[in-house]
Amino acid sequence: VWVFCLVLSYSRLGYFEAVTYQSLESFTHCHIHAFDYFGGAPQEVRLDNLKAGVTSPDFFEPLIQEQYASFLSHYGAAAIPCRVRTPQHKGKVESSVKYVKNNFLRSLDHCSWEQLNHDLTTWTSTVANQRTHGTTKRVPYEQWQQSEREELQPLPAQRYKFYHVEERKVSRFGHITFRSNYYSVPYDLVGHTLRLFSDGTLLRISYQDNEVAMHCILKAKGRFVTQTSHLHPKKQPHSPEYFMEQLEAKIGPPAVALMRTMQEQHASHWRDKVRGLLSLSGQHPKERLIEACQLALDNRLSTYRSVRDICKTLEKNGSAGVHFQSPVAAGGMGHNLSIYDQLTRQDKA
């Protein structure tokens, strides 16, 4: 168990909290609780060179941990690390640490973890901040209330949201892995390395400082979470209205009527057949396609292949050379395949 200690320089008003981890998350949350306790945030925070706050200590220009710097920026504050092995640079907080050890901890008896922080909070408000300080000869709480409280920066409207940060490379399927699940990102980011920000509930994904995706984190394992907007345009599911508009514009009313027949007879895979019809618009003139769709309707045919083969016959023989006998089981997988034999014989003739 460690005790986090943050002291205001002028009044010596202190905030103390017991923790079991010296992690960045624990360090940040303690700062948030301290600023809430003080009713404001200071403009500068002088800190020791622990890894949670300082990534690379340096005599002239220490490197501040990225998320810690982001947190302080959210509150309008800046970090000033002490020089290495120079404890006197933060003498006010060092004295407060000794005070906690010699006063609060010595008075402790056996207690639970929950009771520990409760007793520490009570001691902070009733003893530590109500005593006459040995250096200033004033009561910290009174000094804070009279002078320092108004000098603190107001707290932001929302607390800082802490996120765990990781990096992942996008797979060729357009997903990143996170805690044994797969989350989609825009298709054009395949192969790129993205940054992941998670708070246990939400997963935010960014590329070059721009957020590109956001997902709710699943508790289950091995699941794929895919947002339709992340898929390649060719893989995105379209509504029936979309296909009708495309057929009306590229072919004409007979193609729309043929689509309705496809929906009735091939409910599970009519979209692929309609895409096939649309692909024919780049191979044949509109008039030929209209005639081919109408012939397919007249002969109770409801497949893309039927229209494709009729178009080929019309291209070679013209309208006069095409004659059909309506098969008994037209449409679907069970229609009479002799219709194609007729087309073949006509082609040879």
Give residue 324's pLDDT band: very low, low, confident or very high (50, 70, 90): low
What proportion of the chain, given as a percentage, has pLDDT over 90?
52
pLDDT of the residue at 60: 43
Tell me the per-residue pLDDT of 126-151, one tens digit each, with 9 for 90 and over: 999 999 998 899 999 999 999 999 99
**With 90 as the cut, is the pLDDT of residue 42 above it?**
yes
pLDDT of the residue at 330: 45
Q: Mean pLDDT check: name the lowest of 121-125, 134-138, 217-221, 264-268.
A: 264-268
- Using CA of residue 178, residue 66, residue 160, residue 120, what is the dihedral sign? positive
**With 60 as the cut, is the pLDDT of residue 329 above it?**
no
**With 60 as the cut, is the pLDDT of residue 332 above it?**
no
Mean pLDDT, the chain, rounded, equals: 85
**With 80 as the cut, is the pLDDT of residue 347 above it?**
no
68 or 319, greater pLDDT: 68
Q: How many Cβ atoms from other residues are within 10 Å of residue 303's Cβ?
A: 22
How many residues in the chain?
Answer: 349
Provide the residue type at 222 as one letter. Answer: G
* DSSP symbol at 92: H
Give residue 120's pLDDT band: very low, low, confident or very high (50, 70, 90): very high
- Using CA of residue 103, residue 107, residue 113, residue 118, what is the dihedral sign? negative
Cα–Cα dist 25/186, whole Å: 30
pLDDT of the residue at 139: 96
Cα–Cα dist 335/220, whole Å: 46
- 327 in Cβ contact with 342 (< 8 Å): no
Whether this prediction's pTM lies above 0.75 is answered by no
Which residue has 């309707």 as its token pair?
297
pLDDT of the residue at 272: 87
Give residue 58's pLDDT band: very low, low, confident or very high (50, 70, 90): very low
- 100 in Cβ contact with 3 (< 8 Å): yes
**With 60 as the cut, is the pLDDT of residue 99 above it?**
yes
323 or 106, greater pLDDT: 106
- Largest Cα separation within the chain, whole Å, is 115
**With 70 as the cut, is the pLDDT of residue 85 above it?**
no
